[in-house]
Amino acid sequence: MTEFIFIRHGQTDENKKKHIQGRRDIPLNECGMSQALLCGEFLKRNGYTFDVIYSSPLSRAVKTAEIINDVCNTGLDIIKSEGFIERSFGVKEGCDVCHEVFKEINDDSAEGLEKSYEVQKRVLDELYRVAKLYDGKRVLVTTHSHTIKAITTYCDPDKYHFEDRLSNCALSIFNVDKDKVMVKDFNIETQN
């Protein structure tokens, strides 16, 4: 079994404005860097250790990983993975987060949107690939909201949804055993 600790990146100015970022490469703001620092301290204080660190290639996720890596003093290299990049929201990138926009996302009807099944397949293919490489290990992944929700909605679509709230720098923990993925925890706050 491989344990994955997924962390949503820290806050960006677009998060603060409640805009959909998607694949746009928006950096962390001051608050986001502070959140990543507190997340690293939470992990260290609670005895979390890692065998490997993966990150989405987008700078907000990479910077979150770098800050956590420094705080936890792991000395590990950060492996960037396109498989863990954020969902492409097509024409909805830059739009306000609101009911009307999310209806088109949930219906998979927005122009240029990476469909729900497509993001699930992409993320799960990478999850299984990494799990095989690091069987019996703990993997830290810094990534994005819909990347994490691709896993939860796959595991239990009655309980989890793409519109579920996921805090910046929150932890979600998954266990992967051969071809089975289990949600251990979702949206664990690290900011207190």
The CATH number that applies at residue 172 is 3.40.50.1240
pLDDT tens digits, one per residue of 150-181: 999 999 999 999 999 999 999 999 999 988 99
Active site residue 9: yes
Amino acid at 6: F
CB atoms within 10 A of CB 37: 17
For strands 2-8 and 52-55, give the pairing.
unpaired
Whether residue 149 has pLDDT greater than 80: yes
Q: Of the listed 14, 86, 114, 126, which one is catalytic?
A: 86
- What is the residue range of 116's domain? 2-188
**Total count of domains within the chain:** 1
Full-model pTM? 0.96
Active site residue 144: no
Active-site residue, selected from the candidate residues 9, 19, 144, 146: 9
d(CA 192, CA 175): 25
